[in-house]
Amino acid sequence: ELPPAPPAGMYDFRYTSGRIAEDLSSSVKTIEMSGVVYPLTVRVEGMDIRLMDESGKKLNENLKDGESIEISESTIEKLMVSGELLPTVYSLEQNYPNPFNPSTMIEFSLPEMANVKLSIYNALGEKVAELVNTSLQAGKYQYNWNASGVATGMYIYELRTDNFVSVKKMLLLK
């Protein structure tokens, strides 16, 4: 446990939990900064991290053990840090289980914020489900599809963003 925060304007760099250290593998942690002088250099020792500002728009970087980054944007007052690295490429994984009955998991990765559609089509090319139709931050995602309302057969699932399209097949056996 850290002592109370110093008066405004004095240098302070602490996790919002008030702890000296945090387990970064469990979730994203927030670091509040006050009284820092920019540019600010952040160096990583002993692990790989994902470092970003609150919005993920001004700063959104993967840092590996021994790497550092200089932050010159003085409007950044909080840093978000996680032990999970951002994907570096778009990807759509094979669903699992496959074949499946009645539900299956579909995973994909985004290296940047994107408008995402994840759609499922039958063998005739008719859309039977739309699992995602929204804007998502960079990261890894999993969506479950329950196919109990459709017939046995081959289905196609498509991941579509402004910069990427990928299609895979899956088999529903009842």
pLDDT-derived band of residue 100, with 50, 70 and 90 as boundaries?
Answer: very high
Provide, rounded to the nearest whole percent, the portion of the chain with pLDDT above 90: 50
Mean pLDDT of 92-100: 97
The DSSP bridge pattern shows strands 49-53 and 12-15 to be unpaired
Mean pLDDT of 44-64: 85
The pLDDT, as a whole number, for residue 160 is 98
Provide, rounded to the nearest whole percent, the portion of the chain with pLDDT above 70: 99
> What is the 8-class DSSP label of residue 65?
T
Q: What's this model's pTM, rounded to 2 decimal places?
A: 0.63
3-state class (DSSP) for residue 4: coil
The pLDDT, as a whole number, for residue 26 is 67
Q: What does the block give as tokens for 148?
A: 């109990």
pLDDT at 67 over 80: yes
The pLDDT, as a whole number, for residue 139 is 82
The pLDDT, as a whole number, for residue 10 is 85
The pLDDT, as a whole number, for residue 108 is 97
Mean pLDDT of 162-171: 97
Least confident of 70-74, 90-94, 110-114: 110-114
Contact predicate 31/81, CB 8 Å: yes
Residue 47: phi and psi, rounded to 5, are -165, 175
Residue 91: phi and psi, rounded to 5, are -155, 150
pLDDT at 87 over 90: no
